[in-house]
Structure 1
Amino acid sequence: MAPETTSLNRPLITASVMAATIMQALDSTIANVALPKMQGTLAATQDEMAWVLTSYIVAAAIMIPLTGWLAQRFGRKPVFLISVAGFTFASALCGLATTLPEMVFFRLLQGISGAALVPLSQAVLFDINPRENHGKAMALWGVGVTMGPILGPALGGWLTDQYSWRWVFYINVPIGILAYLGLSGFMPNTKKIAGSFDFFGFLTLSLGIGALQLFLDRGELKDWFHSPEIVVYALIIGISFYLFILHTLTAERPFLSVSLFKDKNFLTSNIFIFIIGVVLFATLALVPPLLQNEMNYPVMLTGFVTAPRGMGTMMAMMVVGRLIGKYDVRLIMAVGLGMTVLSLWKMMHFDLLMDETPIIYTGLLQGFGVGLSYVPLSTVAFSSLPQTLRNEGTAFFNLLRNIGSSIGISIVQTLLTRNTQINHATLAEHITPYTLHSPAIGALDPAHPASILALNGQITRQAAMIAYNNDFELMMVVTLAVMPLLILLRPASRAPQGSERVIVD
């Protein structure tokens, strides 16, 4: 153990860091189920309510890349403390909001404040633990990052039903206060590194990321390129990213260090975390609507039958921390990705007549698979990266996870809508006067409007179920396609210089 770490109170630092991480991770999904209740209170339309989610996502996405520079320039501890305090205060304001503009503005503050919490927590856990404990540290960190979005809808639904939608925000206040007190009392600071700020690089990257999030979040609502708004976003994305890449490759001190991408482990790990973001969050976005809209599950029951997914993730992370160091991380990840593929293959065969059993065991299997993949990936991504690049690295790593989740959700929801329409038309072609009296659908009177509406409802549900199965198949293929990249990863033979030291200012 390095002498700089012997005096650290690791348990209290870890508990404080994890409280902040879970608080932020929960908030990425906990408010989703409360939107209908919020819509009535705030007297807003469904289109307007979408900005409650969009403002948070866009603000967080823009601020994540800035985390690395802020932590280097001002020290990690003050940035962490300001983020926790800002996120807690903004959460209280969200709970007190009485109008839609107030809610959107306070959610924007939440996103700005909370963006640094997850990447900084990952960097802190790396630095306060010796190299041999990095696997266990990332297992614990992974629990917070993955369990938050999984348990968020169930917790949000329970708070909304039992109390009020405002409690999905108020719950952050006591957690935030405890995290702030723990971090202020026990967390060491890092050495400040003075450096110039690449404003042009930050501006172009921020515009590109912000436009991309708006493009993905509002594309389906606005019918994609049939809307001038979406076309404008696409142009901003193309121009901004082109200028950012060109500037990064030619500037003397770019906003994002090129040295990050010279590390093969880090580069390959970012591809994997992008795909994991797609699969993890796209499935989270698909299963609850399937259960509630097509199978008539109430909110609480939906939360209960999807909870085993989180249990699987937690079990995997309790095991995988002990496996890292004993087995090749590529083998562990291969097993995890294989379990994810198997779960998606099972989900391809979901049907409207099934009971809760397939949902529970596929969720458990997929949660275990994601846990086995996520922790080794988070460990090996930084195993050969110098400590001086860790703040930037963790920020970019988590940024790609968020972008992957946004892209994945956008793609599967778009395909769901379009494939449902196509499947509906295909199924309707086979409806004839003879099939109206078949045992499969029961005797219906074509002259009675109620019978035609009932038949159309059945066709729509079946068309949607086929579309859901198609989405699960797509995610299975994507996961299979990325698995060969495992051969590019290599376990680090030695710790990178300075990786086990905390430099106290």
Structure 2
Amino acid sequence: MSSATTPRRSFVERFQSLDYKWLVSISVIFGLFMAVLDATIVNIAMAKFQAVFGATLADAQWIITAYTLAQTVSIPIFGYLADRYGTKWIYIISLGLFTIASMLCGLSWSLGSMIFFRVLQGLGGGALMPLGLAQVYAVFPPSQRGLAAATIGIPVLLAPAFGPTLGGYIVEYTDWRLIFYINVPVGILGVFMCATILRNDNVNANAKIDLPGVLLSTLAFASLVYGIGEAASDGWGSTKVVGFSVFGTICLVLLIFFELRSADPLLDFSLFKSWNWTSANLITWIITFALFGALFLVPIYLQSLRGLTPIQSGLVLLPSSLITVIALPLSGQVVDRFGPKVAIVIGLATLTLAGWLLTHLTLTTPTLTLQLWLVARSIGMGFSNQPANVIALSDIPPQKLARASSFFNLMRQVASAFSTSFLATYVQDQAKPHFAHLAETTNPSSPMYFYVRNAVSAAALRGENTLKTQALVVKQLVGQMQLQASIMAYRDALLLITVFAAVAVVLSLFVGNPRGHSGSAEMVME
């Protein structure tokens, strides 16, 4: 008896047989992951950069600031270029620039050269997220936008958690240059896949560059992001922060005025007439506040207050990062079956609950308990973050996806800069009154007073210098009070995040489930 046997197909044949939408998703994921990873992995190496280049912390901080500013100003410009010359090739050019700049950063011989190459890297990185998102949304039908959001959301949420761990390992055990070199092979593979797999999309040959929009958006968002970013170190009342923030706000007002009157605006502020767009932006700003707030606060809590190394703190955060691999596909299924509104309500409610649990953080909170709280937080982020993207872009026709996605990501970029700076200053400001209150409670009837008196008495019995012993014990107690004041300030910040998340839950109840538009998932290919 004979039977026909089906030859086993090779990996390449199975890969080529995938639907085009999956090929697009796989192709752009490389750029998305690198863009988000690079924004977090470099932070951990700041002390190393200071030592290598002999720079102060303020000077070395420009390695991060230069990248952020370049990324911010390039986002809207790349949206126009993609509209005019095609998303595929503009994305490939930006990914290629990011990859080459990464290699040059690794070859840096001075702080000045590093900052210059980081500017180039930021210019390339600014297009990766919005254009990658636009290409994926363009090839998925409206009924599968949740699945599309989940697909690209995995690298977006995983990268910030893996960045500090990977960066800490590289700095501690290998050469710091690997932080940048690691992007090169991934970028080359991404460029090759995009060039060979992605199809040419329609271009708008009549699109004209909006020069007032380019100039005003560059001045507005660069000034705002820089001014807000400096608030973490200089304070909100400093001349630099106030000056740049006021100038940026003036430029933003002028930008809105000119763009609303432009026939072909660089940034279409009329999109805010759509409730889906406006509500999704508001929810995304709150989610960004919660996401970057925890990414900023929890690692510092683990390292500064609990004494863990960057690698150890990264391992504590690892389970909550891995859970997103499960949460995102589930949220995608909920979006496609019940609509993004249901997923967002579930996600924000879970995020609020997790935030409330984190407000009970102490210096002795068991690691397992903290990990469970962070897992709940990651589930909330997985169910709320990407569905907000679906709602924001639901009413956007395919030919405008590149610009709208760029605008949406630009808003997120500004929100992330504000979140980090605001929480940094908020924690510092809150710690001071908490320390003062703890100091006031130290009186002859307090346990700390008895502890000092007993320690001095024991030193006297041993024949030791009692004044020296008293100074040492008091110094230790002051250190403990500072730690306690810091953890109280952290709880205040986490409570504030929780309040905003609760507000977002209420807001999400008024979000509409967008209807799919006929043909909105199609792009005319050449």
TM-score by length of 2: 0.91
1:206 corresponds to which residue? 218
Q: Secondary structure at the match of 1:124?
A: helix
1:452 aligns with 2:474: yes
Q: Deviations over 1:189-213 (max 9, x none)?
A: 2111122211112211211111111
1:223 aligns with 2:245: no
1:479 corresponds to which residue? 501
Q: Partner letter of residue 314 of structure 1?
A: V
> Shift in Å at residue 491 of structure 1?
1.8
1:15 aligns with 2:26: yes
CA distance 1:441–1:503, shift in 2 (3 Å): farther
CA distance 1:373–1:442, shift in 2 (3 Å): farther
1:464 aligns with 2:497: no
1:499 corresponds to which residue? 520
CA distance 1:441–1:163, shift in 2 (3 Å): farther
Q: Deviations over 1:312-348 (max 9, x none)?
A: 2221112122222322422221111111111111110
Give the distance between the partners of 1:491 and 1:433, measured in 2 at CA: 63
Give the distance between the partners of 2:194 and 2:132, measured in 1 at CA: 11
**Structure 1 contact 383–491 (Cα < 8 Å) conserved:** no
1:283 aligns with 2:294: yes
Q: Secondary structure at the match of 1:297?
A: coil
RMSD: 1.9
Give the distance between the partners of 1:442 and 1:319, measured in 2 at CA: 59
Q: Partner letter of residue 256 of structure 2?
A: I
> Shift in Å at residue 461 of structure 1?
0.2
**Structure 1 contact 30–152 (Cα < 8 Å) conserved:** yes
2:376 corresponds to which residue? 365
**Structure 2 contact 334–342 (Cα < 8 Å) conserved:** no
**Residues 119-128 or 175-184, more deviating:** 119-128
- Residues 75-224 of structure 1: pairs in structure 2 closer than 5 A: 75-193=86-204, 194-224=206-236
Q: Secondary structure at the match of 1:221?
A: helix
1:245 corresponds to which residue? 256
- Residues 311-390 of structure 1: pairs in structure 2 closer than 5 A: 311-390=322-401
1:58 corresponds to which residue? 69
**Structure 1 contact 339–366 (Cα < 8 Å) conserved:** yes
**Residues 298-307 or 173-182, more deviating:** 298-307
1:298 to 298, 303, 309: 309
Q: Partner letter of residue 368 of structure 2?
A: T
Task: Report the structure number with the largest CA radius of gyration.
Answer: 2
Q: Deviations over 1:45-83 (max 9, x none)?
A: 111111111111111111112222110111111111111
**Structure 1 contact 44–100 (Cα < 8 Å) conserved:** yes
Q: Secondary structure at the match of 1:488?
A: coil
**Structure 1 contact 285–409 (Cα < 8 Å) conserved:** yes
- Residues 395-474 of structure 1: pairs in structure 2 closer than 5 A: 395-435=406-446, 443-445=454-456, 447-448=467-468, 449-474=471-496
- Residues 14-53 of structure 1: pairs in structure 2 closer than 5 A: 14-53=25-64
**Residues 246-255 or 432-441, more deviating:** 432-441
> Shift in Å at residue 440 of structure 1?
7.0
Give the distance between the partners of 1:195 and 1:441, measured in 2 at CA: 75
**Structure 2 contact 72–222 (Cα < 8 Å) conserved:** yes
Q: Secondary structure at the match of 1:375?
A: helix
> Shift in Å at residue 402 of structure 1?
1.7
Q: Partner letter of residue 467 of structure 2?
A: A
> Shift in Å at residue 24 of structure 1?
0.7
> Shift in Å at residue 108 of structure 1?
1.0
Give the distance between the partners of 1:481 and 1:7, measured in 2 at CA: 42
CA distance 1:504–1:297, shift in 2 (3 Å): same
CA distance 1:147–1:363, shift in 2 (3 Å): same
Q: Secondary structure at the match of 2:487?
A: helix
> Shift in Å at residue 252 of structure 1?
3.4
Give the distance between the partners of 2:189 and 2:26, measured in 1 at CA: 10
Give the distance between the partners of 1:306 and 1:444, measured in 2 at CA: 39
CA distance 1:469–1:97, shift in 2 (3 Å): same
CA distance 1:46–1:128, shift in 2 (3 Å): same
1:3 corresponds to which residue? none
CA distance 1:333–1:9, shift in 2 (3 Å): closer
Matched pairs, number: 498
> Shift in Å at residue 7 of structure 1?
9.7
Q: Secondary structure at the match of 1:197?
A: coil
**Structure 2 contact 435–482 (Cα < 8 Å) conserved:** yes
1:394 aligns with 2:416: no
Q: Partner letter of residue 509 of structure 2?
A: I
**Structure 1 contact 208–240 (Cα < 8 Å) conserved:** yes
**Residues 78-87 or 495-504, more deviating:** 495-504
**Structure 2 contact 149–389 (Cα < 8 Å) conserved:** yes
Give the distance between the partners of 1:441 and 1:370, measured in 2 at CA: 46
Give the distance between the partners of 1:8 and 1:270, measured in 2 at CA: 31
Give the distance between the partners of 1:327 and 1:7, measured in 2 at CA: 26
Q: Partner letter of residue 502 of structure 2?
A: L
Q: Partner letter of residue 122 of structure 2?
A: G
**Residues 326-335 or 87-96, more deviating:** 326-335
**Residues 94-103 or 258-267, more deviating:** 258-267
Q: Partner letter of residue 220 of structure 1?
A: A
Give the distance between the partners of 2:246 and 2:423, measured in 1 at CA: 23
Q: Partner letter of residue 294 of structure 2?
A: T
For structure 2, the 5+ residue unaligned runs are 1-16, 457-465
Q: Secondary structure at the match of 2:467?
A: coil
> Shift in Å at residue 11 of structure 1?
3.5
**Structure 2 contact 284–388 (Cα < 8 Å) conserved:** yes
> Shift in Å at residue 498 of structure 1?
3.3
TM-score by length of 1: 0.94
**Structure 2 contact 134–401 (Cα < 8 Å) conserved:** yes
Give the distance between the partners of 2:255 and 2:98, measured in 1 at CA: 29
Give the distance between the partners of 2:394 and 2:508, measured in 1 at CA: 15
**Structure 2 contact 101–118 (Cα < 8 Å) conserved:** yes
CA distance 1:77–1:474, shift in 2 (3 Å): same
